[in-house]
Structures are given as structure tokens and as C-alpha cells.
Structure 1
Amino acid sequence: MKVSVIIPTYFRAHDLVELLDSILKQTVKPFEVIVVDDTPNDSVKEVCDKFREVLRKLDIDLIYVRNPKGRSLTIARNVGAERARGDIIMFFDSDIILMPNYIEEILKVFKEKRNAIGVQGWIIPPWLVPSNKSSALKSKKYFMIRYLLNQLIRGIFILGIYSKDKCKFGSYPVILTKVINCEALSGSNMAFRRGILTRFKFDENLKVYAFMEDLLFTYSLFRKFPYGLYITPYAKCIHKQSREGKELNERWKAYLNWCRKYVLTKLFGRKGTIVYYWQNIGIKLLELKAKLGRVLIKQVI
């Protein structure tokens, strides 16, 4: 199976370098990498120009595309999918780093599960990433208190929780011991059979950075193909969650809230709208908890 990799990006030239480096180290390599760029300057293009010859020596085509329709993550994904020629099309956020056997393990699931239409790898929890371990272990007591409070609030207010061997619309398997079915996939790393992306598109009403666009797309697929989405613990990756290219102001928060309401309402109708307002209470509680936590952590540590 030929693999196409699509990387939408916006102001993340440094992150893109790390992702491309991790693609170079794959045990099974893609035959093409398509970078769809929303950046208004040439920083990302320059990175692509530097990597093009290196990738070509490994029989990998690097295709740089300036997003022709305006800044939008969903549009960038659709543009990339239209250009892709592979049997399996993989999407990565530009702040992802792949473990060397990532692509190989994703392809294994597609080969072994004939009903699989979409597969994602497992994001290594931040506290297990080597560079984060020292800070995460400074206070196990504080970490456990924070984790349990988060789980409680997020569970009550339907904001998504961590789980073991469960990948539902509102949960992510922070502990994963086997390949399992999913109700939704994370947009940070996901792969689909080519035919799916010729039939279904990402919702371009979600502009700019977008939010929950991955849940809207993949949960809609789950409804049509209930056993077609999978996650594998053997295809590991690190999601750095880079802040580069993101705006962290009140106007931006309001837009992300609009995205959340749009997605929930489109998926669940009136019930989704009610869930949106219920979630808002939980979000306020999490913000309050975070403020208190910053004060208490100094005392605990």
C-alpha cells in the first residue's frame, strides 16, 4: 500500500523540521509528503526546499502547496487529500513527532482489519515523554490530586476523560494495551483509506485553526461505519501541542467556543446545544481549579 502524508501548517517551521526528520527515520516510508501551508511568509517553504532533495534520495516526493482558498485547517486537509495519490492517506499536525515504526504499525492495522477505514496512532502521555519526566515527577501527590480533580470535573460536564482501552467520543485511552475500535480519531495523527476521502470532506465552515473539526469528521464516519475506526498502541507519537501559530486572546477563545457549539449542534441537534452550555460550567470550574493550583503547587512542592 502506497502512503501519502499530508501536513497542514501555519507558522511552525521549526516543528515541521522535527516532523520531517521523524518521517525520514520511518521503517516504512511514504512515497509522498504534501505540505499545505497557510503561513503568509516563506519560512515553511524554505524548510520544504531544504528537505526536498534529502527526501528524493529515499524516493519520497515532497510537494509544497500554498493553500489557495484562505487560511483554514479543514480546507488545507481537503486540498491535501485532493492532491494525494496514495492508497492510505495520513494526516499529521506539524507539531507531531513519530516513533520510527509508526507508519509500519498503522499499515498493519489496515492489512489485518479489512473493515478498517481509519486508524490513528497512540499519543504518548506528556508525563511519559522523557523530556517532561523530571517536572512531572516533582510532586506525585500534586499530580494525582490534579488528575483526579480533572477527571471528576471533565466527567461530570462531558468534557472528555482519560480511560484504559476505551476510545469513545468523550474519552481517550491514556493506557492502551491492544488495538481497539474508536468512535472518533484525533486530528493530530490519523490515516484513512483513499476511498473515504473521495466520498467525505472536512467541514470548511470551521475556518482558521478550527476546533473539534476532527471529531465532527470522524464521529460522522463512525455513525456510518460503526466498526471502521481503530487506534493502535504500537504506532506511537509525541504531540508537542505547540503554541506557535495560535492566538491566545479573548476573541480567539470566543471563536473556539463557537466551533464547539457548531460541532455539538451539528452532531446531536438540540441535545448538543444543551451539552455545550453544560460544558461551559465545567470549563469555568477547570479555569478556577487551574488558578488555585498555581497557588497551591508552590506549597506542595
Structure 2
Amino acid sequence: MGSTRIAVVVASTGRPEELGRWKEHILRQTLQPSRFVFAVVKPSDLPSSDAMLPCAEVVYCNPGLPVQRNAALELLLGATHIIAFFDDDYVPSAYCLEGIVDFFQRHSAVVAVNGSLLADGINTAGIPYEEAIALVDANDRNGKPEAKVICSLDGLYGCNMVYRSAAIGAERFDENLPLYAWQEDIDFAARVGRRGGLALTTAFAGVHQGVKAARLAGVRLGYSQIANPVYLMRKGTLSFKAGIRLIARNLVMNHVRAFKPEPWIDRRGRCKGNWIGILDLVIGRDHPKNILSIRQ
């Protein structure tokens, strides 16, 4: 295990508090990473110096999740065997990195994985940090988990996705998907997955808090819910059936809940963005980058 080099990448904008927690996350790991990279836009994205992990490397780049993750890839490819991409609000088990290395050593046909989520706050108001830590600590009392495959996947969930560096090759995150880049994780995993299996595993676990601060504005996300799946269907990284189902599910959900929206979701903004996206699709000018010109 000591000969396998694993790097961790956390891309973030406007969340220094969440980045500051990664010092604790990494120091409690039973296996330390060979590299740890923050991909950010500006110095104010970073935590204070006392909360900064001593071994952290920082790469500055233009905003946008694909741009930031690609900047980290350029730094790491060829220097590490495994690259783990974690969201800034992901809270990993202490056995996370050890479990990842163990998994890839045991399952040579798998090129990328998601770990088990103990909880996910993305569709709620979010999971408080103290609750997330309690869930992870309770899980860790069971000891290191077995490196089993739960099931095969067609794509990966971006909050905790891990890749063999050799399988990435020339593939990069699609920078035509700007900002929060909704569905960029599915697209990238589908392309890397042409070289081997994608899987969900018991080998590592964590909690995705689903922090709402600094997320994409409702109208922009609503547009992305139309334009991004259409773009990926045209690319061939999202099937027609899956793409239509994804669009329909979000379109219906936004409109049904617009009259009594959740406090943490701008449903009316998403509805507006949905209809701008549909109009652009009808007249043939739809493109994911159009959100850059949509007023928030």
C-alpha cells in the first residue's frame, strides 16, 4: 500500500470555513495522501493560515468546477496513481484513503468509484457539521470496511469520486459546462468509464453535508437542468432515455413545488431558468455556457 500514491483534490469557491475543516479530515486519516490540492479562484477562498493543512498545495485558476479540477489534474497526472475528487463539504471516514487504495489494489478492472454515503444533505437544508462528524465517528467504530463492490454504475456522483490516474489519460472535465457545471461528474465518469468499470463500493464512506452557501443561483441552475442534459445527450455521454428522464423529473419537481417551495431552494428561479432553457432549445440556441449571460 505504501507504494501506491494517492492524491486528494478539493475544488472550491467562496467556502473558506469548509476548506478549513479539511485539516482535521486529512490528519485523522489512517493513510496519509501523497499530495493534497486546493483548486481555488482567489486567496479569500482559502481558510486562515492556522486552519491550513501544512502539506496543502494551492492552484489558482478561473472559476468553474471543470476548470478548477482540470488545473489540479495537470498538476497531478503522472505523479500519482489515484486521484480522489471530494467536495469541500464532504466529511470522510478516517479509513477513507486507506480503503480507496485497498479497493483499487483488489479490483483491477475498475477505473473509478464512488464510496458509500452515510448521509447526503443535498436535497435537504443540509447536514450540520457536528452531525456529519458524529455519523462518521459512529461508522468508524466498526473498523476498516471491506473493499467490496456494491454495484456497477453508469456515472459517478461528484462529491466523492475517485479515479485511477492511468485511466484518465487525455480526458478532462468539460469546460463547456461552466460554474457549478451541473452533470459534469456524469460526463467525465462516462468518458473515463470507456476504459474500465465504474462502481459503488463499501471500501470508503463519508457524509455529504450539502451546504447551500455559494451554490448556483436558481435561474442559472434551472437553465442548466435543461441545457446540460441536452448537451450531454448530443455528446453521447448521457443516454437519451436518462437525459429525458432527468429533464422531466426536475421540470415537474420545480413546478409542483414552486407554490410552496423549500426555504433552501429557489424553485421559482429554477422554473424561470427551465423555461429560458426550453425556449433556447426550441429556437436552436441552447448551450450550457448561456448561463454566464443570465442575470441572477
TM-score, structure 2 normalization: 0.70
CA displacement at 1:246 relative to structure 2:
1.3
CA displacement at 1:285 relative to structure 2:
5.8
Corresponding residue for 1:105?
A: 99
Corresponding residue for 1:79?
A: 71
Rounded to whole Å, the distance in 2 between the matches of 1:103 and 1:260 is 32
1:260 aligned to which of 229, 233, 244: 229
Corresponding residue for 2:13?
A: 10
Rounded to whole Å, the distance in 2 between the matches of 1:105 and 1:31 is 15
Q: Does the 8 Å CA contact 2:229/2:243 hold for their aligned counterparts?
A: no
1:25 and 2:28 aligned:
yes
CA displacement at 1:46 relative to structure 2:
4.5
SS of equivalent to 1:214:
helix
2:199 aligned to which of 230, 249, 253: 230
What is the percent sequence identity of the aligned residues?
23
Q: Does the 8 Å CA contact 2:39/2:68 hold for their aligned counterparts?
A: yes
Corresponding residue for 2:283?
A: none
Structure 1 108/205 Cα, relative in aligned 2: closer, same or farther at 3 Å? same
Return the letter of the residue paired with 1:87. Answer: H
Deviations 1:57-95 (A, max 9, x none): xxxx3111111xx21100111110110121111111111
CA displacement at 1:204 relative to structure 2:
0.9
Rounded to whole Å, the distance in 2 between the matches of 1:18 and 1:184 is 28
Rounded to whole Å, the distance in 2 between the matches of 1:284 and 1:51 is 39
Corresponding residue for 1:203?
A: 174
SS of equivalent to 1:35:
strand
1:283 aligned to which of 253, 261, 276: 253
Q: Does the 8 Å CA contact 1:109/1:116 hold for their aligned counterparts?
A: no
Unaligned 5+ runs, structure 1: 56-60, 133-176, 293-301
Higher helix proportion (structure 1 or 2):
1
Corresponding residue for 2:290?
A: none
Q: What does 1:92-241 align with in structure 2 at a 5 Å threshold?
A: 92-126=86-120, 131=131, 178-180=148-150, 181-222=152-193, 224-225=194-195, 228-241=197-210
Return the letter of the residue paired with 1:45. Answer: L
Rounded to whole Å, the distance in 2 between the matches of 1:270 and 1:120 is 24
CA displacement at 1:123 relative to structure 2:
1.4
Structure 1 186/193 Cα, relative in aligned 2: closer, same or farther at 3 Å? same
Q: Does the 8 Å CA contact 1:261/1:272 hold for their aligned counterparts?
A: no
Aligned length: 237
Rounded to whole Å, the distance in 2 between the matches of 1:131 and 1:277 is 32
Return the letter of the residue paired with 1:94. Answer: D
SS of equivalent to 2:46:
helix
Deviations 1:3-50 (A, max 9, x none): 111111001111112233111100001021111102x4x333343x43
Rounded to whole Å, the distance in 2 between the matches of 1:121 and 1:109 is 10
Rounded to whole Å, the distance in 1 between the matches of 2:8 and 2:204 is 15
SS of equivalent to 2:21:
helix
Rounded to whole Å, the distance in 2 between the matches of 1:271 and 1:179 is 26
Corresponding residue for 1:147?
A: none
Structure 1 14/123 Cα, relative in aligned 2: closer, same or farther at 3 Å? same
CA displacement at 1:271 relative to structure 2:
5.6
Structure 1 278/46 Cα, relative in aligned 2: closer, same or farther at 3 Å? closer
Structure 1 197/290 Cα, relative in aligned 2: closer, same or farther at 3 Å? farther
Q: Does the 8 Å CA contact 2:180/2:216 hold for their aligned counterparts?
A: no
TM-score, structure 1 normalization: 0.69
Rounded to whole Å, the distance in 1 between the matches of 2:220 and 2:115 is 33
Q: Does the 8 Å CA contact 1:106/1:232 hold for their aligned counterparts?
A: no
Corresponding residue for 1:89?
A: 83
Higher relative contact order (CA 8 A, sep 6+): 1
RMSD over aligned CA atoms reads 3.1
Deviations 1:119-175 (A, max 9, x none): 22111124999838xxxxxxxxxxxxxxxxxxxxxxxxxxxxxxxxxxxxxxxxxxx
SS of equivalent to 2:199:
strand
